[in-house]
Structure 1
Amino acid sequence: MTRHKILVVEDEPILAFDIETTLEDMGHETVGPVGRLSEAAALIDEKQFDCAILDVNILGGHITSLAESLLDRGVPILLATGYDNFALSERLMQLPRLHKPYSSEELQTEVRRLCDRTEARAAE
């Protein structure tokens, strides 16, 4: 399995810790986690990463513009959210979602899928 650098944007500290721990247990490197929109925007410009797990609504606002910027760069994204489609732009509705609350097994499954998409993108 390839080790990936995964950006984590999550403003709930317990969930951020759980995601970070799960990623590390799976052999990946976490970029972040960050819980504010401004911090997330800064990381996108400063750090290298392969893919991203984004909470939809974080401190400082909604991640729509941030997510769309990542999509424009071809970065695979997994949305972690309790929101339905009403909270998402049409473009973001197409992204895979991890619905809160989720189990550790669901998180691991979706991270594997995210990494598969990342590897497919790198192979292009």
Structure 2
Amino acid sequence: MRIFGRKKGRLERLLVVEDEPLVAFDTEHVLGAAAYEVVATVDRASKAIALIVGDQAIDLILADVQLADGSGLDVARAARHRGIPVLFVTGTPPAEASELAEGVLRKPYGPRDLLIAIAAIEEKRMGKTPARLPSGLRLFAGA
């Protein structure tokens, strides 16, 4: 069952880095219903980094900042070295987020906001100005 339709895009394989089980479950469900492929959902920075440096194909990482064993900032640094974009999904965006990520989606957010945020990042990466932004999303120019 698809909740929200989407066009075939470039950001298809997503890594979810979230240590709150209910948020992780909801995120997986929303992404799957929207026809994204969740390559993995992990709750630790070390597991995420192992996937990033491994052979796993990842198009976008959705990462919380505060994780059980470290920081989403470490995940974003590893992703940057591999050219993988990151969207921080957090209630407390770090000061250095603009240097490491495409944007920040502030918690709490709804399913529709998450999907619109991913679409906005995809548009931005294709050189377009995103048509819609959820109120909790902040995109960065640099990253």
**Shorter-chain TM-score category?**
0.7 to 0.9
1:110 aligned onto 2:131:
no
The secondary structure found in structure 1 opposite 2:115 is helix
Give 4+ residue runs of structure 1 displaced > 6 Å after superposition: none
The one-letter code of the counterpart of 1:100 is K
Q: 1:40 aligns to what? A: 48
Q: 1:2 aligns to what? A: 8
Aligned match for 1:57, one of 66, 71, 80: 66
The answer (yes or no) to whether the contact 1:7–1:49 under 8 Å persists in 2 is yes
CA–CA separation in structure 1 for the residues paired with 2:34 and 2:97: 31
| RMSD (Å) for aligned C-alpha atoms | 2.1
Aligned match for 1:98, one of 105, 108, 112: 105
Instruction: Return the offset for 1:48.
Output: 1.1
Q: TM-score, normalised by structure 1?
A: 0.82
1 or 2 for the larger relative contact order (CA 8 Å, sep ≥6)? 1
CA–CA separation in structure 2 for the residues paired with 1:54 and 1:70: 11
Q: Which has the higher helix share?
A: 1
1:8-49 deviation per Cα after TM superposition (whole angstroms, max 9, x unaligned)? 101111111111111111111002110011211111123111
1:80 aligned onto 2:89:
yes
Q: Aligned in 2, Cα 1:90/1:105: closer, same or farther, shift over 3 Å? A: closer
Structure 1: 5+ residue stretches without partners: none
Q: TM-score, normalised by structure 2?
A: 0.72
1:85-106 deviation per Cα after TM superposition (whole angstroms, max 9, x unaligned)? 44x45613x6311101111221
